[in-house]
Amino acid sequence: MTELEKETIKKQLNDLNEQRNSLKKKLDRILIKEDLEKINKQIGKCYAFPNSYGYPSTEKWTMYVKILDKLDTGRDARVVALKFQQYPDGSIEIKKNHDIIHNYDEEYLDKNYMKKHEISKEEFEKKYLEILSKIEIKEN
């Protein structure tokens, strides 16, 4: 193989890689847009999930989740959710975070896991106020 043939093949490979990268970016944008549409259907929904962090324990508690919004990071679609839970030791966790869409995706929902644990907004708000009332604010 001559140097010219090698250079021609390298250039063709480079061109193909550039074309592949461009197509991948286009596909990623389409998938993100689809995911954002899926999240739109979830905004405002509330859930109460049994939790034990996967440990085979008899100590279980409930994690409450409310889907607040969606976020386009440019690399993926995220679910903005308010979550809270009280652990068996009495400690309380309240956080707003950004989860990957696949935790809330329709395919996952079709497995009935999330549908089975959906609760009303009123029930979520009642539990949230109960948790907030348990928090002691100590001043120094």
- Average pLDDT for the chain: 85
Distance separating alpha carbons of residues 77 and 71, to the nearest angstrom: 6
Residue range 85-96, pLDDT digits in tens: 998 888 899 999
Query: What mean pLDDT is predicted for residues 108-134?
Result: 83
Per-residue pLDDT at 19 exceeds 70: yes
Domain coordinates in residue numbering, the chain:
3-134
Per-residue pLDDT at 109 exceeds 60: no
pTM equals 0.75
Distance separating alpha carbons of residues 57 and 127, to the nearest angstrom: 24
**Nearest to residue 113, comparing CAs of 47, 27, 16?**
47
Beta bridge partners of 91: none
DSSP 104-121: T-HHHHHTTHHHHTEE-H
Query: What mean pLDDT is predicted for residues 40-50?
Result: 90
Per-residue pLDDT at 112 exceeds 80: no
